[in-house]
Chains A and B, each alone.
Chain A
Amino acid sequence: MREYYFAGLAVIFLATLIGVAIYYSLRARRSAEASWDDLLKRLVWIDRDKITAIAMDAVEESGAPRSDDEAFALDSLTIWTMLGGMEGLDALEQNCGILVELAAYLQRWHPEALVVAEQLRLNAREIEWHVGRLRGAAQTGNLQSSFGDYAQRAVVTYYLMTRHVLELCDRASFPGFADLQRAL
């Protein structure tokens, strides 16, 4: 009897392993075969002016936190509306996923830019983490208390990171720079 239990578990174990391996291998292959243009086409349009406005409410142009009296004037509801609610955060998260892939593209084809690409990848992952926390807060009904802190931090990180990516692509004369600028 124990042989049958073991055989059943082994079949489930193998099917899961093979399924997961095929799914992620296909994703890895798609990502490896994607060109710079393909990745740019997948970016979702985000209103850069609103992103800048939310970010500038918290940090200065240099990226340093603002300490003047007019800092942090935007309340949670205004930030939520300007971002377009959860859909806006979804778009932000999707673009972060693509920025992670752009960083992987840089790592793969331009090993000299490995360090900066890795830093950008970590930034994008950090925003994904903040958005994930917000999603969790929305599911447990704590969105109101979490939104201001996490969302604004995510937006500030996104703003600074995309600014760096745009600078890098502009200086390196990467193809599709204008498309990237429009989307981000």
Chain B
Amino acid sequence: MQLTSFDRFVWAASFAGNLLLLLVLWRRGRAQSFPVFTAFIASSLARTIIIFWVLRDLPRDYRFIFWSLSALDEALQLLVVYELAVHVFRPTGVWARDVRRTFAGVAWGGILLAAALACLDVPATTDPVQAYFLRGNFFSAALMSELFVGMVALSVTAGLPWKTHVARIAQGLGVYSIFCVARDSASSALGLEHAPHTFIVLSHLRILVYLACEGYWIAMLWQEAPAPRELPESVLTQVYALQRQVEYDLTRLRSWRRP
């Protein structure tokens, strides 16, 4: 496979971007808070190296290795969504009671809707294996987009705030997923055979959007989140006493009935 100068630029930029982001995650101590996201970036870095090596030395195995790594990438992205959901919907270490069922409903509804759309999709290729993976890519991008939008809607409705870095990671991945849905839909509708140039432009755009997201993550995760305002020790003790009282009141109220 012949690499264009744009391909070489993209490869170098992805490698440098992933490496820099990994350094930021490690240097600023974000890796402890976001282990799955860190693993996702580390795997992206490994992927750029493996793909380069396979292209040069094992060109016949390229397709198999490329799709295998893509499947791993998609799986890790879904785990990142779960990691972000844990940060937002488990503020005290347990799932918020009022969002647990709705979040599960959003996830299952998202899976069904994404599966239905993926079944309707007509990937622009005659190769059945490639068609299978293209459908899989579309399913994954549609599901990711639904989950991100669903999480934002649910957290706003329930009044659960997003911590700064959680929100920045979600924004980047959300924008990238929505763009992937748009790109996959456009390439299916246009047809790979009928408009190969448009397909290549869309693929390049997808990579550029991902690089932009990476740049955004590097800048945002390097910065510290706004410092919280500390409460005095005496007030803190009262806050905990108050919490016990509220919990006790609520338990009694739930069993209360008018005669």
Contacts and interface: CB of A to CB of B under 8 A. Distances in A.
Interface in B103-138: 113, 117, 120-122
Given A20-B149, A115-B240, A164 B245 contact: yes
Contacts of A43: none
Interface string A87-112: 00000000001001101100111111
Contact of B189 (A4, A114, A115, A171): A4
Contacts, number: 164
A24 B152 contact: yes
Given A109-B228, A113-B239, A125-B98, A119 B188 contact: no
Given A3-B188, A125-B98, A161 B246 contact: yes
B212 to A, nearest CB: 17
A17 B146 contact: yes
Interface residues on A, range: 35 or more
Interface of B is mostly: helix
- Most chain A beta-carbon contacts within 10 A, residue among B113, B231, B240: B231
Given A3-B189, A27-B156, A116-B242, A17 B145 contact: yes
A63 interface: yes
Given A110-B229, A111-B228, A114-B91, A153 B188 contact: no
6 contacts: A3-B122, A59-B256, A111-B228, A125-B98, A160-B249, A164-B245
Given A100-B159, A148-B258, 18 more contacts: A4-B189, A6-B185, A10-B181, A21-B148, A27-B156, A31-B159, A63-B248, A100-B158, A113-B239, A114-B91, A116-B242, A118-B91, A118-B92, A118-B96, A125-B98, A153-B256, A160-B249, A168-B239
